[in-house]
Amino acid sequence: MKLSMFADASLRAMVMLAALPPGEIRTAREVAEVIEVPVTHLSKAISRLSDFGLVEVARGRYGGAQLTAAGREASVGAVLRRLDPRSDLAECVSAEGNQCPLIADCALRSILAEAREAFYQSLDRHLIVDLPTPRQIHIMFPTIPVCTPVAAAL
């Protein structure tokens, strides 16, 4: 089981943006470099997060991205539900549109859907804004002072 590369990059970008002091912005390229994701993927991720109202993008020479209030207050579960367009965890219907012959009245399909809901509910308890740890903030933004015990030990 794994997250899509797109959901993965989007979540990590949100963690990085959540670590910024209020009002600060970063370009897609800057975020991509820090979290080591190809900038083309990251640009698409930022664009989709902007469509969802989770990220605000200022265009132009001094432009960049920051989380919106909704993005800061969103839970990880809520973000992943938006990012995951698949209706089935298994290949009940493949990308080519082929359908599993057992799809009708399938217990496996319904218990996988139930388990995915348990997965999301577990993530509903955690807000994006609470994710960045002092050690990570120090890695992402060495110039931003941190003074918690964890960061001081670096």
Name the one residue in this structure whose structure tokens are 């991509």: 32
Nearest to 12 by CA among 21, 28, 22: 28
Nearest CB to its own copies, comparing residues 69 and 111: 111
- Tell me the two tokens of residue 55: 């990220």
Contacts 24+ apart (CB under 8 A), 1-7: 1/89, 3/80, 4/83, 4/84, 5/41, 6/41, 6/44, 6/45, 6/48, 6/83, 7/80, 7/83, 7/84
Choose which of 78, 98, 145, 147 interacts with its own copies (CB under 8 A). Answer: 98
| Residue 50 Cβ vs its own copies, minimum distance, rounded to whole Å | 20
Choose which of 29, 86, 142, 144 interacts with its own copies (CB under 8 A). Answer: 86
Assess 29 for contact with its own copies (CB under 8 A).
no
Q: Under 8 Å CB-to-CB from 69, ≥6 apart: which residues?
A: none
| Residue 132 Cβ vs its own copies, minimum distance, rounded to whole Å | 8
**Number of residues near its own copies (by CB under 8 A):** 53
Nearest CB to its own copies, comparing residues 58 and 152: 152
Binding mask 109-148 for its own copies (x = CB under 8 A): --xx-xxxxxxxxxx--x---xxxx-xx--xx--------
Positions in the binding site for its own copies (CB under 8 A): 1-5, 7-8, 11-12, 15-16, 34-36, 76-77, 80, 84, 86, 89-91, 98, 100-102, 104-108, 111-112, 114-123, 126, 130-133, 135-136, 139-140, 150
